[in-house]
Amino acid sequence: MIATKADVLVLHEVEQVFRFVAKEFPKNYPRWSPEVTCLEPLSSGPVQAGFQARQIRVDQGHKSDSIFEVSEMVSPHRVVFRGVNAPYVSTYEFQDLNASTRLTFTFELREIESRFRPFEKLIRLALEEGAKRTVKRLKLLIEKEMLDDG
């Protein structure tokens, strides 16, 4: 298993940050993760535990197609996405700091195919960089959008 974590301080209240990341996930996820070339909700209704979607991503030239679901959602503190047909878990945690929010993103690759094991260090580095980019993009998007809406 490879796990990586990154966090950032977002200068907005926790409810706003949680809404952008979790509740408006189908609309906003491709915006902060441009590696997502296609996102197709498989569930109707609001994003909540059990909500499923299919994504096609291109990460460093490698195309992947997976289905994931919301395995846990505790508003406005935590949302967890788990791969249904792929061994990964993405967790977003939101710490209320009054007028700002500490956003922590954790990505776990629970299993590495044997053909990729010789590249485990490179995969770890790529995932660490990806986690850092994710929180940076989220901060920029949320702060810009909230400023534009304000």
For the segment 2-43, what is each residue's pLDDT rounded down to a tens digit? 999 999 999 999 999 999 999 999 999 999 999 999 999 999
Count: domains in the chain:
1
Boundaries of domain holding 132: 2-149
The alpha carbon dihedral of 25, 26, 32, 33 has a sign of positive
Half-sphere exposure of 125 (CA within 13 A, CB side): 5
Average pLDDT over residues 54-80: 94
For residue 8, list its beta bridge partners.
103
- Please give the C-alpha separations between residue 38 and each of 4, 16, 65, 111, 128, in angstroms, as whole numbers: 24, 25, 9, 24, 23
Q: What is the CATH number of the domain that holds 12?
A: 3.30.530.20
Whether this model's pTM surpasses 0.85: yes
91 compared with 86, residue with greater pLDDT:
91
